[in-house]
């Protein structure tokens, strides 16, 4: 694998896009977000990206691939490469990615998950945390590997679960913490790879 470079960032998002918005607002110099792709045509994330003037903003519909995850993911990789992307951030991307997609982007693709991994993988992580009665919740930025939400952990932030918290109130309190952690983590990766290249 050639050396890691985080300069032209691609973001994959399926929904609201608040983490994308935080990344778009942040100073990621010398990197920038050059491509935002979504599997959902109506994802507000696409509109956010258009408004921010991202070079390539595209909806890639999974339907024509008739459930062939590998083929769909190959089209995502092709679009990312076409845009010159060298690093991928998943931000509320609701699809399970195929092993070949992970191989294409190994060590160059990260995700944010709203729990302190390895606890509460998968959907509704905040509801899982409430149901388990934990006193600390949080979020995790990790590399994406074949197994869902199980790749190497890069950074975590914790918050207290308060008496009376619901999945919703916990999610609302966690969201700004996610935004901060994702931005800081990407900034650190950008700067460490930029320094490594210039030295
Ligand atoms: C966030 O909670 C993120 O941790 C999870 O999906 C949610 C996406 O929210 N992976 P948004 O689309 O970034 O607002």
Upper half-sphere CA count for residue 76 (Cβ side, 13 Å) = 32
Ligand 1 atom nearest to CA at 45: 12
Give the ranges where 52-159 is alpha helix by DSSP (H). 69-82, 99-104, 125-132
Backbone angles phi, psi at 24, to 5 degrees: -65, -30
Clarify whether 142 is annotated catalytic.
no
Q: Is 173 exposed, middle or buried (0-12, 13-18, 19+ CB in 10 A)?
A: middle
92 lines ligand 1 (CB under 6 A): yes
With residue 58 as reference, give the H or E element that holds it. strand 56-59
If you measure from the C-alpha of residue 114 to the centroid of ligand 1, how many angstroms do you get, rounded to a whole number?
A: 7
Q: Are 71 and 60 in contact (CB under 8 A)?
A: no
pLDDT at 198: 61
Q: Structure pTM?
A: 0.96
Q: What is the pLDDT of residue 196?
A: 73
Distance of CA 32 to the CA centre of its chain: 15
60 CA to middle of ligand 1, Å?
19
Where helices occur in the chain by DSSP H, the ranges are 18-25, 44-51, 69-82, 99-104, 125-132, 167-198
Report the separation in Å between the CA atom of 179 and the middle of ligand 1, taken as the mean of its atom positions.
Answer: 9
- Atom in ligand 1 nearest the alpha carbon of residue 21: 13
- State the 10-residue block means of pLDDT for the chain, 199 residues long: 84 98 98 98 98 98 96 98 98 97 98 98 98 98 98 98 98 98 98 77
DSSP-derived pairing of the beta strands 56-59 and 87-90: unpaired
Residue among 17, 47, 92, 167 whose CB has most ligand 1 atoms within 8 A, to mutate:
92
Q: Give the domains, in start order, of the chain with CATH numbers.
A: 7-198 (3.40.50.170)
Cα of 87 vs centre of ligand 1, distance in Å, is 19
């Amino acid at each position: 694998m050639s050396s890691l470079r985080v300069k032209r960032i691609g973001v994959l998002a399926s929904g609201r896009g608040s983490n994308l918005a935080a990344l778009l607002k942040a100073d990621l110099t010398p990197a920038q977000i050059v491509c935002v792709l979504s599997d959902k045509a109506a994802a507000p994330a696409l509109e956010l990206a258009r408004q921010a003037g991202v070079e390539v903003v595209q909806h890639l519909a999974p339907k024509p691939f008739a459930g062939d995850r590998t083929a769909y993911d190959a089209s995502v990789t092709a679009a990312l490469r076409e845009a010159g992307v060298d690093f991928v951030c998943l931000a509320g991307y609701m699809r399970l990615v195929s092993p070949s997609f992970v191989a294409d982007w190994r060590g160059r693709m990260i995700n944010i998950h709203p729990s302190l991994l390895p606890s509460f993988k998968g959907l509704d992580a905040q509801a899982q945390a409430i149901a388990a009665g934990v006193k600390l919740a949080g979020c995790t930025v990790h590399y994406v590997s074949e197994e869902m939400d199980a790749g190497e952990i890069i950074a975590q932030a914790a918050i207290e679960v308060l008496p009376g918290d619901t999945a919703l109130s916990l999610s609302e309190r966690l969201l700004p913490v996610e935004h901060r952690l994702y931005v800081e983590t990407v900034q650190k990766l950008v700067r460490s790879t930029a320094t490594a290249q210039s030295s």
